[in-house]
Structures are given as C-alpha cells and as structure tokens.
C-alpha cells in the first residue's frame, strides 16, 4: 500500500470542506455534480503540482 502524503491529503480535505459548505442546500444531483467538479479540480491541481501537464 502506498503511503498517504500531505500533498494528496490536503487537497482532498479542502475539497471535502468546500463540498460541505457549498452542498448543504443542494439536491442530490447537484451535489453529485459539485463532487465531480471538485474531484476534477483536485486532480488538475495535483497534475500541475507534479508536472503532469
């Protein structure tokens, strides 16, 4: 199993916090859309940080 690094953990935790704040009043389909967008943003930030683009 791979070790969990802070560079991975911090964006995921921040993304979850944003989802919680934004998604409190949303219907489930809108919440799923917000989840997908947040995961794409986290993935993009990690790719840029590691020189993937």
Mean pLDDT along residues 26-45: 80
Grouping H, G, I as helix, E, B as strand and the rest as coil, residue 49 is helix
Residue 1 reports pLDDT greater than 60: no
pLDDT band at 52 (very low <50, low <70, confident <90, very high): low
The C-alpha atoms of residue 34 and residue 7 are separated, in whole angstroms, by: 22
Give the predicted TM-score (pTM) of the model. 0.56
* Selection from 6, 12, 21, 9 nearest residue 41 by Cα: 12
Would the pLDDT of 40 be above 80? yes
């Amino acid at each position: 199993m791979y070790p969990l690094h802070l560079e991975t953990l911090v964006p995921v935790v921040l993304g979850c916090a944003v989802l919680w704040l934004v998604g409190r009043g949303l219907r489930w389909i809108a919440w799923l859309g917000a989840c997908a967008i947040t995961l794409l943003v986290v993935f993009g930030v990690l790719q840029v940080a590691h020189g993937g683009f």
